[in-house]
Amino acid sequence: MNTYDVVVIGAGVIGSSVAFHLAKFGAKRVLVLDRGTIGAGTTSQSSGILRTHYSVKENVELARQSWSVFNNFAQYLEDDEASCGLVKCGYMIVAPEGDKLEPLRASLQQQQEQGIPLELLNQAQAKELLPIAQFEDAALIGYEPEAGFADAYLVATGFARAARRGGVTIRENVEVQKLQIENGKVVGVSTSIGDIKTSMVISTQNIWTPELAGWTGRSLPVVPERHAVLALECEAAKYTFSMPVFKDLASPGMLYCRSYGGSQMLVSEGVVGEKLKAAEVEQGDIPMDYVVEVGAQVAERFPDYETAGIASSWTGVYDVTPDWNPVLGKLPGIEGLVVGYGFSGHGFKLSPTVGRIIAQEALGLPTDVSLKPYSIERFTTGELLTGKYGLGAVS
């Protein structure tokens, strides 16, 4: 059979979520193609942090609805064995006096208005939750108890397994080489195993979206950007699973940290990274100067980490759009094409709802959250979704 109702390109956490939701909404002949394996693209490199803290209110809603899925993953997937590896440790965000203070205050207030459970902590309360950190410079501390982190690879494979159970066909090691368009309508895809007929294609190609731009002749702004993640171990301090994820707006790199394995600290910067010329997920160099620089920022906040060592490290690539927010929905002028790309380092926490609304859009159903703010047209109309903290993965 080489005719399908819907073809999804990419089996990362977004494509897998789309596939699961297509089946959930009753789509019958659905095919997912990935040139690699499920979740092995940028999803496998994710730090996995789940929060609803965003300065862009549309993102808060996507994250809020997604959180309830992570919190009831097996039930949502109707698969008793499914797990997303959730560690519900909370999320703490800190700003000192200065330019990040008012954006944080405004974002926290907005979250509260949107009904997110949220506490404002004093320094002593923060220290109680995260005793390995010092808070002397903290002018404002927000704490989201219903947050934490999970495992993006587990989530992608969980969605994929549930999608298969729902009748979806997922083919790994199959490359889509071209989109076939006739009279402005999608009619199929050319692949490494031959042509496949379909009138609906959903592209969740992440950093490989420029291929789609080439096939369609459309401008789809996205830049691959490499980021480094370090796991630190420290004799004098353990970052346990009960300690919250921590966002430090006081540090030059706007660091984020979390427990890694129950005692190590996973840390990375939340600012602009190394722009790459082309999409690739191979490991990049992490220069020693960079490690020293991040280490110094960590030690400012976590004094015991002055003597920490590196347990492991890796690099990962973000699909960055001009406003650090995703493009979701139809591409105007091409019937039968829906895209979901440009997650700019924060797509995992949005993946359940993004998959759901992309599936709804493709099937002609009303979407639970409006796709309009995320349309590709915003790059020409100027209605950008740039966050209050500037460019970087907080958004």
Ligand X SMILES: Cc1cc2nc3c(=O)[nH]c(=O)nc-3n(C[C@H](O)[C@H](O)[C@H](O)COP(=O)(O)OP(=O)(O)OC[C@H]3O[C@@H](n4cnc5c(N)ncnc54)[C@H](O)[C@@H]3O)c2cc1C
CA atoms within 13 A on the CB side of 194: 5
CA atoms 353, 90, 322, 210: torsion sign = negative
- In angstroms, the Cα distances linking 394 to 239, 247, 306, 357 are 22, 9, 26, 22
Stretch that binds ligand X, among 46-54, 72-80, 107-115, 178-186 (CB under 6 A): 46-54
Give the residue with the Cβ less far from ligand X, 53 or 101: 53
Residues 254 and 196: beta-carbon distance below 8 Å? no
Rule CB under 6 A: is residue 87 a binding residue for ligand X?
no
φ, ψ dihedrals at 382, nearest 5°:
85, 5
Residues 228 and 295: beta-carbon distance below 8 Å? no
**Any idea which residue has 């506490």 for tokens?**
119
Rule CB under 6 A: is residue 324 a binding residue for ligand X?
no
Give the residue with the Cβ less far from ligand X, 343 or 374: 343
Pick the binder of ligand X from 48, 210, 224, 392 (CB under 6 A).
Answer: 48
Give the residue with the Cβ less far from ligand X, 41 or 96: 41
Nearest distance, CB of residue 160 and ligand X, angstroms:
11
Nearest residue to ligand X, using CB? 12
Rule CB under 6 A: is residue 205 a binding residue for ligand X?
yes
**Any idea which residue has 């990274």 for tokens?**
273
Give the residue with the Cβ less far from ligand X, 127 or 330: 330
Give the residue with the Cβ less far from ligand X, 46 or 325: 46
Pick the binder of ligand X from 45, 55, 157, 297 (CB under 6 A).
Answer: 45
One character per residue 19-38, x = contact with ligand X (rule: CB under 6 A):
--------------xxxx--
Stretch that binds ligand X, among 47-55, 246-254, 292-300, 304-312 (CB under 6 A): 47-55
CA angle, residues 393, 376, 226, in degrees to nearest 5: 30
Give the residue with the Cβ less far from ligand X, 96 or 210: 210
DSSP β-ladder status, 91-95 and 245-248: parallel
Pick the binder of ligand X from 55, 59, 65, 206 (CB under 6 A).
Answer: 206
Pick the binder of ligand X from 158, 316, 336, 355 (CB under 6 A).
Answer: 316
> Which structure tokens are listed for 227?
């980021």
| Residues 149-178 contacting ligand X, CB under 6 A | 152, 175-176
Rule CB under 6 A: is residue 143 a binding residue for ligand X?
no
Give the residue with the Cβ less far from ligand X, 64 or 227: 227
| Residues 340-369 contacting ligand X, CB under 6 A | 343, 345-349
DSSP state of 18: H
Measured CA to CA, the distance from residue 317 to residue 284 in angstroms comes to: 10
Give the residue with the Cβ less far from ligand X, 78 or 280: 280
Measured CA to CA, the distance from residue 85 to residue 222 in angstroms comes to: 30
Pick the binder of ligand X from 8, 27, 42, 327 (CB under 6 A).
Answer: 42
> Which structure tokens are listed for 241?
């699973």
Give the residue with the Cβ less far from ligand X, 53 or 382: 53
Residues 194 and 180: beta-carbon distance below 8 Å? no
Rule CB under 6 A: is residue 14 a binding residue for ligand X?
yes
Residues 301 and 134: beta-carbon distance below 8 Å? yes
Measured CA to CA, the distance from residue 264 to residue 110 in angstroms comes to: 33
Count residues binding ligand X (CB under 6 A): 39
| Residues 214-243 contacting ligand X, CB under 6 A | 227, 229
Stretch that binds ligand X, among 23-31, 201-209, 299-307, 382-390 (CB under 6 A): 201-209
CA angle, residues 168, 51, 362, in degrees to nearest 5: 30
281 alpha-carbon distance from chain centroid = 16
Among 226, 224, 230, CA closest to 288: 230
Query: Which residues contact ligand X by CB under 6 A?
Result: 9-15, 33-36, 40-43, 45-49, 152, 175-176, 204-206, 208, 211, 227, 229, 316-318, 343, 345-349
